[in-house]
Amino acid sequence: MESVKLGAMTLLNRIVMAPMTRNRAQPGNVAGINAATYYAQRASAGLIVTESIQVSPAGQSYPATPGLHSEAQVKGWRTVARSVHAAGGLIVAQLCHGGRISHPLIQPGGATPLAPSAIKPDGQIFGPDWKKHDYVKPEALDEAGIAAIIAEFAAAAENARAAGFDGVEIHAGNGYLIDQFLCEGSNRRDDAYGGAPENRVRFLAEVAEAVSNVMGADRTGVRVSPWNAFNDMSDSAPEKLFPVAGKALARFGLAYLHVIEPVGTKKPLARKIADTAQTKLIVNSGYDGKTAIKALESGGADAVSFAKHFIANPDLPSRLAWDLPLAEADRATYYGGGGKGYTDYPAYQPDEPIEPAEPVEPAEPPEPVESGSPE
C-alpha cells in the first residue's frame, strides 16, 4: 500500500488503527503486558492510535482505563511502544481528559467532575463497581483550573516522549472535556472561553500549543467529531464552529487532523476542517475497504482509520489489500476482561496460496454507520 507522511512520521500504509477503549488497564491504571501484545499484533497498521489515556487522575472517565501521569504508567507504556517498534510499527498516545463524563466514584477523593459549565449530561456511566450510575452535575472550571489542566496535558506529552511514543493525539471529540468547551450545548460560559466560536475553540488551541511545545507540532495530531452526539453533545452550527477550530490550529503546523465523520455524510466537513488547519486528514467512521479506497483516491482523505475491524483482524491492512474475508469481533468481550477477545484473534490463515484480487471500481458509499468505537 502507498505510504504517506504525517508531519515527522512516515506511515508505510494509509490504514490507521483508531483509538478504542478496552478497559483492560492493570492496577494503578497501568498498561500491562497484555496491552503490549495487543498493540504489537496490530503493528502492520500505518499508524496505531492508542486507546484514550487520561492525563490526570481527575481526567478518568471509566474503570480500568490507562493513564500517563505516573512513573509506573510511563514504564508500562514504554513496554508497549518498544513492542510495537520491534514489530515495525508506529504508535501515538491519545491524550484525553473526560471532564463531566465521569463520576465521584471514579474521581480522586470522591470529587465532583470538572467541566466548562455546570451542566449535567443525560444518561449513566459505569462506575468502578461495573454498575451504571446517573451522571452528576459537574463543577464549572475557573481560569486557574483551566490552566492547571493545560499543564496536565503538557506533562502527559512529556511522559509520552519518555515512554518512546512516536507522537501524541489530542482527543477533542466524543463529548470529553475539550469537546465540551467546543460545543455550545455543554459550554455556557461568558468569559474568554465561551460564547462565540472563536472563544470556545480557545481551550483546544491552548492545549495544542502546550502539547506541541513538548512533543513537537509535527508529531502532534488532533481528533474531533463534528457530528457526534455521543455523551449528550450538541451544537447548533458545527459547520461554522469546526472550521474556526481548524483556523485556530493552523499556526502550529500539526501532523494531522483525525475527523470522525460517518461515510456518506450529506454535508461533509472533514476535508474543509483539515485544509483550514493546513494539515493532513485522517477520516473515521463506517469505512470498509472499498469506501476507504474511494476516499483516498478522490483526495477526500490522506489516511483512513478503522476501529472495530482491528479488534478481530490484527492483520487488517493485509486483509484489505488482498480483499480477504474479515473476522467479526465478539461484542461481549469489547470491554474489560483478559486476553479473550483481546489478544487471541489470529491473523488470516489461508488453506492455500491466495492470488491477488482483481481490481474493482470503488462502490458508492453505504448509509452512515457508527465506527463501533466509544472513543
Tell me the pLDDT tens digit for each residue of 114-137: 999 999 999 999 999 999 999 999
pLDDT of residue 168: 99
pLDDT of residue 350: 80
Would you say residue 345 lies in a domain? no
Residues forming beta bridges with residue 306, ordered by sequence position: 17
* CATH code assigned at 304: 3.20.20.70
Note the pLDDT tens digit of each residue in 284-297. Answer: 999 999 999 999 99
Amino acid identity for residue 102 in this structure: S
- Which of 108, 29, 19 lies closest to 308, judged by CA? 19
Would you say residue 74 lies in a domain? yes
Would you say residue 362 lies in a domain? no
Would you say residue 359 lies in a domain? no
Count of domains for the chain? 1
pLDDT of residue 50: 98
- With a CB cutoff of 8 Å and minimum separation 6, the contacts of 172 are 178, 179, 182, 204, 207, 222, 223, 224, 245
Active site residues per annotation: 176
Residue 25 and residue 54: Cα distance in Å, rounded? 12
Would you say residue 374 lies in a domain? no
Strand 91-96 to 9-11 pairing: unpaired
pLDDT above 50: residue 281 = yes
- Give the domain range for residue 140: 4-333
Would you say residue 207 lies in a domain? yes
Residue 318 and residue 88: Cα distance in Å, rounded? 15
Note the pLDDT tens digit of each residue in 34-77. Answer: 999 999 999 999 999 999 999 999 999 999 999 999 999 999 99
How many residues does this entry show for the chain?
A: 375
Would you say residue 361 lies in a domain? no
pLDDT above 90: residue 361 = no
pLDDT of residue 244: 98
The CA distances from residue 298 to 206, 255, 291, 294, 303, in Å, are: 33, 21, 10, 6, 12
- Which of 120, 252, 142, 127 lies closest to 192, judged by CA? 142
Residues forming beta bridges with residue 259, ordered by sequence position: 224, 283
Would you say residue 302 lies in a domain? yes
pLDDT above 90: residue 375 = no
pLDDT band at 147 (very low <50, low <70, confident <90, very high): very high
